[in-house]
Structure 1
Amino acid sequence: MAIKLRKRKEIFTFYNAEGEKIERETEIRFDPLTGESSRLVYDAGLAVASFDYLEAAEKTKGVNCPFCPENIFKMTPVFPKEISDDGRITKGEAVVFPNLFPYSKHNGVTVISRDHFIQLNEFTPALIKDAFQAAQEYIHKVTLTDSNAKFASINWNYLPLSGGSIIHPHLHIIISDTGTNYQTNIYEKARQFEMETGKEYFTALSETEKSIGERWIADTGMITWLHAFAPKSHNDYVGIFNNAYSLEDIKETDWGHFAKGLETIFSILADQEFSSFNLMMSVDPEEREPINVRLIPRLAIGPLGTSDINFFQALHQEPLTYKAPEEIAAKARIKFAGLM
């Protein structure tokens, strides 16, 4: 079984008040690993609601924010000595400490910068690189002290539309004995794919998409960037760390390439007036699949600020997108060409 890119079309026919026939096409795409479907629906012109967080940032910074420099070492908790002699892990401006309200057995928070608010297109590669390297060190320390905690991920909710409850930019690091639904499903399906083809799924995906060229975006260092065939949102970026099966395989140079890639994606999102996103970096607990990253924008739609998630995503668990993956990938290739 090779990578299969399946899709089908449905046509809805109706008439306007003058009796003129109208046809609207919905394209249903199936994820090449899981078989889960998502829908590319008719776009009358996606109207992204604009949000200005400057006023909220002013009200919540400084004494009102536990992540700001004057508070972070006084108001945040500390790790036990086996994780850090100093109680926290630091690199550059990044600081890692325990989450007071953990999602898992091990949950670190990485504050990315001293600045309380950073616009999407103002993140620097240095800030991104240091934050992810600090998260990498935390995961390394945890795995040395807890051999059962094999499911690791680095996650980023950027701004309130993404579910972020604090404007100050930060990551969540989750390490658990139990995988999330995504991790369990993806890696079980990847094992099945490997048994049937003799190939790692994400390596095969990287090679297949690069050979097709429609959704492949760029290779930066060891990382292949592409757009998902069956997207989970109006953009859906996938990063594959080729030949990196554990976080220990990712070196400083690789983090630099990753940071420049994210900076470029942030620019692409900003061009489309998206201001918020969710990101997940997942690590295979058995270290048989390359590390992969997924990033989708979060947004509100129209003058009412309507959520981008409705019954289809929330209950039917079926993603919707107004944007064709191939069109977004073509725009992204132009941006990434500047990195080559």
Structure 2
Amino acid sequence: MILFRQERHRRLFHNPLKNFALEEQEVEIRWDPLLGHQAIFNPILEDKKRLFFGEHDWDLVKRLAEEGRSQCFMCPEKVRSATPRYPEDLIPDGRVIRGECTLFPNLFPVGLYHAVVAVGEAHYRELQDFSASLLEEALEASLFFINRVFGRDGEAQIAAVCANYLPPAGASLIHPHFQVYISRESPPFVARVLEASLAFYLKWGQNYWEALVREEESQGVRFLARMGRVSFLASFSPLGSNEVLGIIAEEDPLSFEDLDNLARGLSAILKGYQALGYGTFNLALYLSPRNHSLPWFSPHLRIITRQNLYPAYRTDDYFIQRLLGAELIIMPPEKLASSLRPYFTQVEPR
């Protein structure tokens, strides 16, 4: 039913770095069980990770943060006075405030609704400093906003909570923030996932995401942890570097009784990413259309690392990803899972 398809090919060539000695290298191709997306792995690349990602320079991040701090409208002295506000009939007081987190309209929206969530008061954070309680506040503010929009605008159909952290991941500001994207129609990738999930359900009579959790938990090598009704696992054929999935077994997609567990798992992943030498990430939390509980779809989180930040860093997104639609694996998902798994026992208690 769920096929973890992979192929290995061995190739010979004379390597000039080894005095033209004959060398054999292996290339492994994996296919995503739902979408058929390809991920490609050459074990040699794992040993040369620094050539691809460099060493993340937290001192450089701190310096850039200090240079931009005076202009940052997400810092506490400005976020509740200088940011835009929603109309009172949509959001009382114009902004959503949860603890240290403040949600407000994006000045340059790209969706039917497009909000920004300032994640905490600190102008910059290392990945290990994203606490579970802080992430829960940010997620709670985001879901409250989505519920308000869905309750008042019949055109709003699709919602996602997303994040770009630091410039290599697409962020224009250093200050940590989430973005809430709401649209009339599904973005292309979301549409693919929904269509494939429905097709799997019609063929097999089962929810793909629930079946995936059962299969991965039984195999164990990529399964990270189950926290309440949220299951975390390393993707077999990732859509981005070091991808982790958080799959939510939730009857009411936006009530999220296990929101704390989603935040605790996300905090563990970020701590693990930093321990592995990464400092940037993208994430997306995909919700069920229009807050409907669907038998064939489960809300889920995807998070990936991006290129590290250092002077003259290179992009990690090139022809393989953008023009061929495949992904390059630097660390096998099974090894990623074994590296991240310990951090799920270290997150803040509930």
Q: Per the shorter chain, which TM-score range? A: over 0.9
Is the Cα contact below 8 Å between 1:238 and 1:292 reproduced in 2?
Answer: yes
Give the unaligned 5+ runs of structure 1.
none
Residues in 2 aligned to 1:122 and 1:12: alpha-carbon distance in whole angstroms: 44
Residue 190 of structure 2 corresponds to which residue in structure 1? 183
- Residue identity over aligned pairs, in percent, reads 30
Q: How far off its partner does 1:182 sit?
A: 1.4
Distance 1:16 1:154 in 2: 46
- Quote the Cα distance in structure 2 between the aligned partners of 1:302 and 1:82: 45
Q: Is the contact made by 2:280 and 2:308 (CA closer than 8 Å) also made in structure 1?
A: no
Structure 1 segments (4+ residues) deviating >6 Å: none
Residue 24 of structure 2 is matched in structure 1 by: 23
The question of whether the paired residues in 1 share the 8 Å contact of 2:273 and 2:340 is answered with no
Q: Out of 258, 261, 266, which is 1:257 matched to? A: 261
Report if aligned partners of 2:223, 2:233 keep a CA contact under 8 Å in 1: yes
* Alignment partner, residue 219 of structure 2: 212
2:288 alignment counterpart: 284
The answer for the alignment partner of 2:155 in structure 1 is 148
Aligned partner of 1:271 in structure 2 is 275
CA distance in 2, matches of 1:302, 1:59: 16
Residue 146 of structure 2 is matched in structure 1 by 139
C-alpha contact 2:88 2:94 (8 A) present in aligned 1: yes
- RMSD over equivalenced CA pairs, Å: 1.7
Unaligned runs of 5+ in 2: none
**CA separation of 1:301/1:175 partners in 2, compared to 1, >3 Å: closer, same or farther?**
closer
Task: Give the structure 2 partner of residue 38 of structure 1.
Answer: 39
The normalised TM-score by structure 1 is: 0.94
* 1:159 CA displacement: 1.1
Deviation at 1:153, TM superposition (A): 0.3
Instruction: Tell me the amino acid that sits aligned with residue 5 of structure 1.
Output: F
Alpha-carbon distance between aligned partners in 2 of 1:184 and 1:262, rounded to the nearest angstrom: 25
Any conservation in 2 of the 1:301–1:308 contact (CA below 8 Å)?
no
Partner of 1:171: 178
Counterpart of 2:67 in structure 1 is: 59
The Cα of 1:261 is off from its aligned counterpart by 1.1
Question: Corresponding residue for 2:208?
Answer: 201
- Residues 55-82 of structure 1 show CA distances to partners (whole Å, capped at 9, x for unaligned) of 1111111x31111112122321111122
1:234 deviation in Å? 3.0
**What is the alpha-carbon distance in structure 2 between the residues aligned to residue 270 and residue 230 of structure 1?**
22
Could you tell me whether the CA contact under 8 Å between 1:217 and 1:227 is conserved in 2? yes
Provide the C-alpha distance between the structure 1 equivalents of 2:233 and 2:332, rounded to a whole number of angstroms: 13
Alignment of 1:203-242 (within 5 A): 203-242=210-249
Larger deviation, residues 140-149 vs 45-54 = 45-54
| Alpha-carbon distance, 1:45 to partner | 2.2
Amino acid at match of 1:33: L
TM-score (norm 2): 0.92
Task: Please say if residues 245 and 290 of structure 1, whose CA atoms lie closer than 8 Å, have aligned partners that are also in contact.
Answer: no
Aligned 8 A contact 2:38 2:325 in 1: no
Q: CA deviation at 1:233?
A: 2.8
Give me the whole-angstrom Cα distance separating, in 2, the residues matched to 1:16 and 1:132. Answer: 50
CA displacement, residues 97-148 of structure 1 (integer Å, 9 cap, x when unaligned): 1101112001111111111111111112111111100001000000011122
- Alpha carbons 1:245, 1:291 under 8 Å: kept: no
Task: Give yes or no for contact 1:228–1:325 (8 Å, CA) kept in 2.
Answer: yes
Within-5 A mapping of 1:119-138: 119-138=126-145
Q: How far did residue 28 of structure 1 move?
A: 0.7
